[in-house]
Each structure stands twice: as structure tokens, then as C-alpha cells.
Chains A and B, each alone.
Chain A
Amino acid sequence: MAQHQVNYLKDGGLPVALTTIDKVVNWGRSNSLWALTYGLACCGIEMMASGASRYDFDRFGTIFRASPRQAELMIVAGTLTKKHAEFIRRLYDQMTEPKWVISMGSCANTGGMFNTYATVQGVDRVIPVDLYLPGCAPRPETLQYGVMMLQQKIRRESASRAQKPKRLL
């Protein structure tokens, strides 16, 4: 005779959890966001700070990778010059699906204070962006909050659906 009763259908009741495939997949995806190191200017320093021990991005499963083949999140941190635009597009294309982009700082969002001939006026002219972080530079807390918002966004999406081609601009 059972000493105590276990309600298997109740969430959190051990040892079984009921869920959907979507939730499992999205949970995995959202908590292991491997980011491509993309420090282009001063914002890159803040991105590095978020990765280092004080702010510790590893807690969120966000580990910086130096190869686009291993990354699924591109954090564009800094000023994108026109000369570099084709390379950012190429690296974005090399990342495997599903992939997300965070545009970090005024420069990446709109060109920022570099209202000149040599700066791309917003990375969304070249690659589709999921999340824009305001600031010059955004503090690591902002980037952390941004990644949390992105995780929530990923969990909202349907995991099985083939990635819709993202709208540019």
C-alpha cells in the first residue's frame, strides 16, 4: 500500500512531468543560446563584460562562440561600416537555422552618431534583426535583459514550424 500518494498529472509532482515537444525544444533552445562574438566597436567591450565573470552570461546558457557554424545568436555590438557590411551578411548566412540577431547600441540600430558616408545606417538594412537594444553603449544589464526578452520570444514561437523567412527592414 502506498505510503503517500503521488499525483502524476500535477505539474511539479515527481517523478513525471507532462509537457509538449514544442515546449521541450524551445526550452532547450532558449536556454542554450550560443552567441557569435561580434564586437565591432566600443559596444563590444560591454558585450565582453557581460560574458565575463561579473555579469556571467554562462548562467543563461549564453556562451560566446568564435565560429558562425556553432552560433545561433548574433549580437551585433558596434558600428557597422559599409566596408564590413558584406562580411556581416556572409557570416549571418553561415549561421545555422534557427538563428536570431540582437542589434546592440545606437550604432547598430540606426548608425548612431556616425551620420557619415562610411557607416551603415542600421544593421537592419543588411540582416533581419529580432531585438534592438538602445543605449550608447547599453550596459551589460541591458544586454542581459535583452537576452531574457529574446528567450521569452523563442519560447513563444512554435518549434516545429520551419523558420519563416524574416522580413528585411
Chain B
Amino acid sequence: MRAYTPKDNVQAKPYYTDRFWVAPQVAKHDVSSDAVFESDLNALKSKFEILDAYIQVEQMVVVINAADNFAVLDMLKNSLQYNQLSEMSAIDWLAKEGKFEIFYQMLSMSKRKRLRIKCKIDEKESIQSVEKLFRCADWSEREMYDMFGVVVNNHPFMKRILMPDDWEGFPLRKTYPLQGDEFAAWYEVDKIFGKEAREIIGPENRDPARIDRYDTERFARLGHEVPRGVDITNGEPDTPLVYQEKNGAFLITKFDPETSVTITDRNR
């Protein structure tokens, strides 16, 4: 039999703490090991400054200057046959180097290759929109703004996409607390009832597993329901699961198993 470990307070113990854990990198290979990628890279190199390039998990990663992003994607789409932008977003490296990393994941259907463009911008810097090249970048860029606060220039509709318009803070930044800051904690109360109601409604209960068996204001045991607020420290009565209470609805007679007869002989 498995050894018994006491299970009181398992909820309070966090099982994962390191929010800033970064997965170890897989091996990087030289671009010369793949002929298709090498010719693509040379084409890019002839026009733009390439800060770094390598192959990782059979995909080429190219690091460029942030100012070149539109021109590089334009060239990839229109002359190098990378005709699909499968994903784009930002990564928060503010704590490490004070920068956001923006990545564009590209797919070439004809070459059957995937390629990733990366660039870095400062916290307050903005980046050029690629929505004119790829329509799918529209919502991705809005999400990037919503979640990280990266402002995108020349975007047709630069507005939050997931969070409410009057939200404060950018939730996917590493500095944003998972359970929300002061603004987030009181958001619905402030918006609906106003700040005065904070005291009446009280702070959020952030322990969803909290149960108090004797608190009849908020809890009721199935089959032992009592009216709200009754003191049950000395135990509560059984409430059998019935549809009709006694003398409940008029005209409806409750089935009474006491006075009924069970027929066992079918040929009676």
C-alpha cells in the first residue's frame, strides 16, 4: 500500500514557483547545412543587415534590425515564396535586457520550409505593422498590443482585442501578477457599483477550495440543506431528496411509500 501523506492544506502549498524559468536551448546548426535556407539567407543579406542566423529544429532563425521588419517580410513574401505568416507575437525580455523580442513565423508552401524572423525593440519603442502584407497580422498585432503594450505603427485599428478597453496594465508581461493587480482585483466592482461599494462587497476570495461546513450562509450539504444562517454546530437534520415538500403544492398529492403496496405477484 502507498504510504499515507497528510493532505491537509495541499491547496495552500504552491507546486510551481519559478515563473522566470527559461527552457534550455536545443542545438543550433550553421545555415550552410541546408541549401534552400542558405540561398534565402544570401538573398536577404544582399539587402539587409543580418545580425544573426542559424538553423534550429530544421527551421531557420534570422535576427534582423527592428526597423527592417516590413521590408524583410515583403521580400520573403513576394520574392522568396514565404507566403504564409503562421504566427507572430512578442516575448518579454524586459527583466533580462530591457527589450521585447518580436518574432514572425513564416511558412513556404512551395519550398516546404519554415523560417522565423526575430527582432528586438525597447520597451517604449514601436514597430511597423505588417498587416498590409498579411491580413492575419491584424489581430495578432492587436493582441500583442493588448498583452504586452507594444505599439504598432500604421495599424488600421490599434485597439485592445481581448481585455476591456478601459483595462490598465498588460497581462502577459512578466511583471504583471497572475492574480491581477489592484486595478484588476476591483475592476468589476468599480465599474458596476463604483468605488464606494468596495467595502460592502469586500476583497476577492482567492482560495476556490475554501469550504466551511458550518457556514450556512454560503454552504449547504447535499441532503442536509437547512435555511440560510442556521447554526448547525450540533449537527443538522437529514433532508431526503424529494420533489414535493409536505403540503407543498396544492392539488398534488405526494406519493407516500408508507401507505403504498408493493406488488410482487404480476399475475395477481
Residues of chain A touching chain B, judged by Cβ–Cβ distance below 8 Å, are 11-12, 17, 19, 23-24, 27, 30-31, 82-83, 85-86, 89, 106, 110-113, 115-118, 120-122, 125-126, 132, 145, 148-149, 152, 155, 168-169
Question: With the chains together, A169 CA to B204 CA distance in Å?
Answer: 11
Instruction: Give the number of residues in B that approach A within 8 Å (Cβ atoms).
Output: 35
In contact, A111 and B250 (Cβ under 8 angstroms): no
List 20 A-B pairs, Cβ < 8 Å: A11-B250, A23-B250, A27-B249, A83-B162, A85-B192, A86-B192, A110-B210, A115-B208, A116-B179, A117-B177, A117-B180, A118-B180, A121-B204, A125-B189, A125-B201, A125-B204, A132-B218, A145-B241, A148-B243, A149-B225
B-chain residues with CB within 8 Å of residue A85 when the two chains form the complex:
187-188, 191-192
| Contact residue among B162, B163, B189, B249 (Cβ-Cβ distance under 8 Å from A155) | B249
Whether A117 contacts B178 in the complex (CB less than 8 A), given A106-B208, A110-B208, A169-B201, comes out as yes
- Give B180's nearest chain A residue, CB to CB: A117
- Kindly report which residue of chain A lies nearest to residue B188, judged by CB atoms: A85
Interface centre among A27, A89, A111, A117 (most CB of B within 10 A): A117
With CB as the reference atom, state the residue of chain B lying closest to A131: B220
Q: How far is the CA of A118 from the CA of B166 in the complex (A)?
A: 13
Does B205 count as interface, using CB distance less than 8 angstroms? yes
Which of B163, B202, B250 has the most chain A CB within a 10 Å cutoff? B250
4 pairs of A and B residues whose beta carbons are closest in the complex: A117-B180, A85-B188, A121-B204, A117-B184
A141 CA to B210 CA, complexed, in Å:
25
- Give chain B interface residues in 165-203, CB to chain A under 8 Å: 171, 176-181, 184, 187-189, 191-192, 200-202
Nearest chain A CB to B8 CB, angstrom units:
20
Q: When the two chains form their complex, are residues B251 and A17 in contact, meaning their CB atoms are under 8 A apart?
A: yes
Q: Is the interface of B mostly helix, strand, loop or mixed?
A: loop
A112 touching B208, Cβ below 8 Å: yes
Closest B residue to A85 by CB, please name it. B188
Q: Which residue of chain A lies nearest to B204 when distances are taken between CB atoms in the complex?
A: A121
Given contacts A118-B171, A152-B245, contact A82 B178 (CB under 8 A): no
Complex: chain A residue closest to B189, CB-CB: A125
Taking CB atoms, residues of chain A closer than 8 Å to B179 are 115-117
Residue in B178, B188, B202, B245 whose CB lies within 8 Å of A86: B188
Cα A86 to Cα B202 with chains together (Å): 18
> Smallest distance from the beta carbon of B135 to chain A beta carbons, Å?
25
List which B216-235 residues lie within 8 A (CB) of chain A: 218, 220, 225
Name the one of B189, B206, B218, B248 contacting A115, with C-beta atoms under 8 angstroms.
B206
CA distance A24 to B204 in the complex (A): 41
Question: Does B164 interact with chain A (Cβ within 8 Å)?
Answer: yes
**Which listed residue, A12, A120, A145, touches B188 by the CB 8 Å rule?**
A120
- Cross-chain contact B178 with A116 (CB below 8 angstroms): yes
Q: Does B78 contact A (CB under 8 A)?
A: no
Complex formed: what's the CA distance from A118 to B177 in Å?
11
In the assembled complex, how far is the CB of residue A61 from the closest CB belonging to chain B, in whole angstroms? 12
* Interface presence of B253 (CB below 8 A): yes
Q: Chain A CB within 10 Å — which of B188, B210, B248 has the most?
A: B188
- Complexed CA–CA distance, A108 and B177 (Å): 22
Tell me the minimal C-beta distance from B61 to chain A in angstroms. Answer: 32
* Complex CA–CA separation, A85 to B163 (angstroms): 12
The answer to whether A24 and B192 have CB atoms under 8 Å apart is no
With A17-B251, A117-B176 as known contacts, state yes or no: A82 contacts B164, CB within 8 Å. yes
Chain A min CB distance to B182 (Å): 11
| Cβ contact within 8 Å between A168 and B205 | no
